[in-house]
């Protein structure tokens, strides 16, 4: 099962939409390039098991 959500780029602050695979676990992390500035962001994804709310925190990739 997949869902979409947005994150805000750690570099330029612009929003980007990403697909989240809900079957990959409650906590996930991976690198996603910003759709605006193309710089890599590390995404830390947490999915609430009851409400399926998706929370994303970002940081720049070093």
Q: What is the residue range of 20's domain?
A: 2-60
Residue count (the chain): 62
pLDDT tens-digit readout, 40-49: 999 999 999 8
Q: 34-49 in b/e burial notation, b at 16+ Cβ within 10 A?
A: beeeeeebebebebee
Q: Rounded to whole angstroms, how far apart are CA atoms 48 and 34?
A: 24
Give mean pLDDT, residues 15-28.
Answer: 93
* pTM summary value: 0.86
Domain count, the chain: 1
């Amino acid at each position: 099962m997949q869902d979409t959500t947005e994150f805000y780029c750690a570099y330029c602050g612009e929003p980007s939409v990403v697909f989240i695979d809900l079957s990959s676990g409650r906590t996930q992390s991976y690198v996603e390039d910003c759709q605006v500035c193309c710089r890599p962001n590390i995404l830390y994804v947490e999915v609430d098991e009851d409400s399926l709310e998706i929370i994303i925190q970002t940081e720049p990739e070093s």
